[in-house]
């Protein structure tokens, strides 16, 4: 994927904006235990913002529909999004409500535990989507996750289909998703845990991931992409399935790896790449992300992805 050959992919993201408060800890504390942490970092995050940043850094033209509070975290988040070239005119400031916050514990093995306080993310409404219709009508892809109200996500997907956009849904954190909504999803991107939660089937390897993905396709999804971390990625379409191995890297922190994959996938598909090439580009971007600490701090720029893993 070379930048100069392509028109930029036009992407609208509906989703969350959080401030991540990250504690590095030797291990997870037990209930009632106070543990000395190794360090503390304040990093811009939120699945929606992360996916928007990934798409922007990787060459997409990105607009974000979201809500933040009228507070320092909100102002700082919007400024950071703008610095990445993201159109934030549809990021609404909500009064009497804090910007979303995630408390993250990251242990020495690279595992994380996360507590979310939705804050302003819970205020995203259908009127926010309506305000973005003009911008959506000029876009190719709508990207959604589930850190904002399900009703607003469903409405955004409906509007996107009416306007002829393709929809990428990352069903995280997992919630019940109506079948008529799944019917409108072109690309469902989810990890092992989310796949298990959606299907009730255990996902332990590529084979079981393919079986679960086929169940999701039967529920009406166009293409199902299951990310398996170090075990690679499984892609199931109407034509069949393929498994692509992961790139080998030293894992420091898996935060935002999935978000980086989603943003990269939208960019590559929006530039007209085939599914296999798009997934490969997304895997390369995600592999770089896990070698760095934090959410948006770990998301690579395009030049870095293009110079890696050749």
More confident residue, 308 or 41: 41
- Residue spans of the domains in the chain: they are 7-27+39-303
Bridge partners of 231, per DSSP, are none
Q: Which residues are annotated as a binding site for K(+)?
A: 253, 255, 289, 292, 294, 298
**Would the pLDDT of 139 be above 80?**
yes
CB-CB contact of 301 with 267 (8 Å):
no
As annotated, the binding site for ATP includes 191, 227-232, 258-259
39, two tokens: 């360090």
Query: Please, are residues 62 and 13 in contact by the beta-carbon 8 Å criterion?
Result: yes
Alpha-carbon distance 34 to 51, whole Å?
A: 34
Mean pLDDT of 218-230: 95
Between CA 281 and CA 229 the distance in angstroms is 15
Question: Which numeric CATH code is attached to 7-27+39-303?
Answer: 3.40.1190.20
Rounded Cα gap, residues 177 and 188, in angstroms = 12
Q: What is the mean pLDDT of the chain?
A: 93
Q: 3-class DSSP state for residue 172?
A: coil
- The span from the CA of 23 to the CA of 75, in Å, is 23
Which stretches of 183-301 are DSSP H helices?
A: 192-199, 206-218, 257-270, 275-289
Judged against a pLDDT cut of 50, whether residue 3 lies above it is answered with no
Question: What residues form the annotated binding site for substrate?
Answer: 18-20, 46-50, 147, 259
pTM of the predicted model, to two decimals?
A: 0.93
User: Average pLDDT for residues 201-208, to the nearest whole number?
Assistant: 95
- Report pLDDT digits (tens) over 252-282: 777 789 999 999 999 999 999 999 999 999 9
Across 114-128, 240-254, 260-274, least confident range? 240-254
Which residues are tagged catalytic? Answer: 259
């Amino acid at each position: 994927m070379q930048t100069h050959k392509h028109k930029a992919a036009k992407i609208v993201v509906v989703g969350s904006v959080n401030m991540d408060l990250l504690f590095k800890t030797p291990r997870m504390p037990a209930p009632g235990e106070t543990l000395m942490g190794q360090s503390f970092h304040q990093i811009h995050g939120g699945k929606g913002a992360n996916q928007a940043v990934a798409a922007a850094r990787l060459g997409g033209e990105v607009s974000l529909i979201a809500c933040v509070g009228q507070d320092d975290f909100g102002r700082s988040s919007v400024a950071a999004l703008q610095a990445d070239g993201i159109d934030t005119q549809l990021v609404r400031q909500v009064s009497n409500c804090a910007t979303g916050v995630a408390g993250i514990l990251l242990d020495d093995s690279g595992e994380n535990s996360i507590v979310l306080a939705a804050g302003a993310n819970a205020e995203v409404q259908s009127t926010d989507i309506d305000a973005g219709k003009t911008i959506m009508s000029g876009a190719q892809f709508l990207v959604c996750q589930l850190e904002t109200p399900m009703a607003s996500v469903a409405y955004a997907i409906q509007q996107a289909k009416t306007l002829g956009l393709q929809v990428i849904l990352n069903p995280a954190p997992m919630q019940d998703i109506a079948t008529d909504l799944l019917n409108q999803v072109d690309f469902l991107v989810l990890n092992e845990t989310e796949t298990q939660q959606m299907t009730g089937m255990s996902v332990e390897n590529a084979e079981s991931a393919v079986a679960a993905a086929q169940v999701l396709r039967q529920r009406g999804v166009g293409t199902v992409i299951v990310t398996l971390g170090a075990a690679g990625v499984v892609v199931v379409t109407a034509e069949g399935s393929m498994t692509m191995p992961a790139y080998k890297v030293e894992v420091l922190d898996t935060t935002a790896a999935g978000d980086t994959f989603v943003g990269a996938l939208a960019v590559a598909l929006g530039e007209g790449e085939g599914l296999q090439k798009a997934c490969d580009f997304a895997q390369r971007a995600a592999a770089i992300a896990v070698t760095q600490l934090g959410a948006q701090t770990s998301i690579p720029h395009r030049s870095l992805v293009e110079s890696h893993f050749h």
